[in-house]
Amino acid sequence: MAYPLEGLRVLDISRVLAGPFAARMLADLGADVVKVEPPDGDTTRLWGADIGGNRGYYHQQNAGKRDICVDLSKPGGAELIAALAAEADVVIENFRPGVADRLGVGYAALSAANPRLVMLSISGFGQEGPESRRAAFAPIIHAEAGMIARAAQVWRQPPVDMVLSVADTNAGLHGLVGLLSALLMRERTGLGQHIDMAMIDAMLVTDDGLHFDLEDSWETKLLPSEVWDTAAGPVVLSADFRHIWKLLASHFGVKDPSGPGALMDEKVANRRAVAQAWFKSLPDEAALAAALDRINVAWGHVRNAAEMREQPTVKHRKTIVDIDDRAGGTRPIVQSPYRFSAAESGVRGPAPWQGEHNGEVLRDWLGLGPDEIAAWRGVLVDHQARA
């Protein structure tokens, strides 16, 4: 089966997560993605296990891409990017607004020679506006979008950041929707366009609880899902405790031990204690599953992420696979989630070394011969030459 995006050319001049994640998904869908790195490399080359010359974080977000290393500070650097962009369908960047223009690789410069170009720019607060020039990594958006404060309010704990960079991946995924829509529109109009994706916009539109705050209706919100101790280990129940208590009382005869005239806080505490004791009384996972299935409450194990390969569905769907580690062995990587009935998808190879495909990309995209490629050596950094 063919890949859905075979033949699509993507120039990825982004770094760290939001842009590289979007480009990695395009690579998994069959696009020819060329990552452009500066001489000092993507910051993520410093994070994670160093296997085969690539660190884990960098490998996860850049698998399946080709790589050229261009020094934009040197004369000719921007011209080389422009030449490649003239042959590209998509350019992805996540510089702070204004930086790409200053370097000579902004949308105005790149689209001048390629009106069909679709460019995705991801930033914290958008390309224009009072905060557009602010530095913005995921934790900044988590704070500004209300996520950190809400979690502190719900759990009655001091505010702390989230444990994953969801603001980045949200922006990357919404950026994918935008650029694929623009490519579809290009089929009708013949013209590309520039997509301004603000991380804070992507975070807020993905927040299914924001309306409770905007409309001051917090009291109508469901109570958060909670973790309970059981014979099967800690499990999370996806239901409001008030609902769970009613089900335990009606289906299993669990009773509130509170006496007449007990205050509500006392009743709640008593009911929680009784519910916890009831869950602990179930002898094993089979009994727990049967009881929760009987009252139609969804539940899940609180798993250690290091053991995720043994999660039954992850194992069945081969969500984590082993690919070449470029050191004579293999290393694990998470697949993209797309499963098609009549198309192929998935990671197509390990992450590239810095500048590994300098000559190859200039040959394939620009049709240059050895002497013409050699003329660009002044702005290209070769990985093997640095080793």
pLDDT number for residue 384: 53
Question: Does residue 231 sit within a domain?
Answer: yes
Together in a domain, 325 and 194: yes
Mean pLDDT to the nearest integer, 5-12: 98
Mean pLDDT to the nearest integer, 27-47: 96
Dump pLDDT digits (tens) for 360-376: 999 999 999 999 999 99
Distance of CA 204 to the CA centre of its chain: 16
Together in a domain, 105 and 138: yes
Residue 209 contacts by C-beta under 8 Å, 6 or more apart in sequence? Answer: 150, 221
Q: Would you say residue 219 has pLDDT above 60?
A: yes
* Residue 149 tokens, joined: 């404060």
Question: Does residue 218 sit within a domain?
Answer: no
| CATH number of the domain that residue 338 is part of | 3.40.50.10540
Q: Would you say residue 303 has pLDDT above 60?
A: yes
Q: Which of 375, 364, 355, 349 is nearest to 37 (CA)?
A: 355
pLDDT number for residue 151: 92
Question: Does residue 4 sit within a domain?
Answer: no
Question: Does residue 335 sit within a domain?
Answer: yes
pLDDT number for residue 383: 67
Together in a domain, 135 and 230: no
**Banded model confidence at residue 141, pLDDT cuts 50, 70, 90:** very high
Domain closes at, from 260, 277, 305:
305
Buried b (16+ CB within 10 A) or exposed e, 216-244: eeeeeeeeeeeebebebeebebebebeeb
Which amino acids are annotated catalytic? 168
Return the C-alpha torsion angle 358, 377, 117, 100, nearest 10.
110
Together in a domain, 284 and 362: no
Looking at per-residue confidence, does 13 or 259 come out higher? Answer: 13
Question: Does residue 216 sit within a domain?
Answer: no
Dump pLDDT digits (tens) for 86-128: 999 999 999 999 999 999 999 999 999 999 999 999 999 999 9
Q: Would you say residue 310 has pLDDT above 50?
A: yes
Q: What is the distance between the alpha carbons of residues 99 and 97, in angstroms, rounded to a whole number?
A: 6
Together in a domain, 202 and 235: no
Together in a domain, 120 and 202: yes
Together in a domain, 81 and 146: yes
pLDDT number for residue 176: 98
Together in a domain, 26 and 164: yes
Together in a domain, 265 and 135: no
Mean pLDDT across the chain: 95
Q: Given the structure tokens 């006392």, which residue do they identify?
A: 266
Tally Cβ neighbours within 10 Å of residue 6.
Answer: 12
Q: What are phi and psi of 133, to 5 degrees?
A: -90, 5
For the chain, what is the domain count?
A: 2
Dump pLDDT digits (tens) for 328-384: 999 999 999 999 999 999 999 999 999 999 999 999 999 999 999 999 989 998 865
Together in a domain, 237 and 107: no
> Residue 299 belongs to what domain range?
225-305
* Residue 120 tokens, joined: 């995705």
Cα first-last separation, the chain: 38
Question: Does residue 294 sit within a domain?
Answer: yes
Mean pLDDT to the nearest integer, 189-204: 98
Q: What are phi and psi of 127, to 5 degrees?
A: -75, -20
Q: What is the distance between the alpha carbons of residues 23 and 33, in angstroms, rounded to a whole number?
A: 7
**Banded model confidence at residue 386, pLDDT cuts 50, 70, 90:** very low
Q: Given the structure tokens 């994070």, which residue do they identify?
A: 47
Dump pLDDT digits (tens) for 248-298: 999 999 999 998 889 999 999 999 999 999 999 999 999 999 999 999 999
Mean pLDDT to the nearest integer, 320-328: 96
Q: Residues 22, 175: contact at Cβ < 8 Å?
A: yes
Question: Does residue 116 sit within a domain?
Answer: yes
